Amino acid sequence: MRKLLKALIIIITMAPSISQAQTDIDAIMMEKNQLCIGPMYSHSSWKNYWEGTMKRDNQNLGTVSTQLFSVMGAYGISPKLNLLFNVPYIKTNASAGTLHGMKGVQDLSFFVKYMPVEKQLGPGTFSVYAIGGASFPLTNYVADYMPLSIGMQSKTASARLMLDYQIKHLFFTGSATYIWRDNIKIDRTAYYTTEMHLTNEVEMPNANNFNFRAGYRSSKLIAEAVVNKSTTLGGFDITRN
């Protein structure tokens, strides 16, 4: 399926009053010479998938689950310019069938986050952010083992424009991201998509992402609702059996 929509996911994050935690997708900046490093955990699972427009039960795999443990860090070069990094450890599992899950360190991601505009607009503060990022695999994990692979082994680059408006503790943030993805090589000499490819190089289509979040933000608590839409710009649907 080319399009993935995650709607109204409620996320609660806690941050200390002295230095707020931040990511590449939020409108939070570190002060000059501030360093924040901390862990993050997420869990996701699914048991259905799409073959074109047909929704299928995943009886061969059962429920596929993914656990992510990561270390994230942010450093303030100035109040308007921050550097960020993320190193995830991922573990996958299938509740049925004979395929075993995989685990390991995935890709190193790093970002440059710049806030060129911050001004009073009406009753609140309006800010503009430009974020550039890149990632590359840290280990030689197997990419050709989806959906149980821990990643795609593709080097990526991204550019994001983000707008934020905050009135006291109420905020609204929207962003648009374009992602360039490098081709990968797999451990076989041919593969089939909608036609036979007699090569071990797989073309990785670029992608875009649109994200909107709104909620409560203070120096001690952030509570937000998130709508996220990612689209692969090419590729093909899973072949219908």
Per-residue pLDDT of the chain (241 residues; tens, 9 = 90+): 444 443 333 333 333 333 455 789 999 999 999 999 999 999 999 999 888 788 888 888 999 999 999 999 999 999 999 999 999 999 999 999 999 999 999 999 999 999 999 999 999 999 999 999 999 999 999 999 999 999 999 999 999 999 999 999 999 999 999 999 999 999 999 998 888 999 999 999 999 999 999 999 998 899 999 999 999 998 877 776 6
Q: How far apart are the first and last CA of the chain?
A: 15
Q: Per the structure block, which two tokens stand in for 236?
A: 């093909």
Q: Locate 151 and state its tokens.
A: 């990643």
Closest CA to 141 of 189, 188, 107: 107
* pTM, rounded to two decimals: 0.86
| Cis, bond preceding 147 (omega within 30 deg of 0) | yes
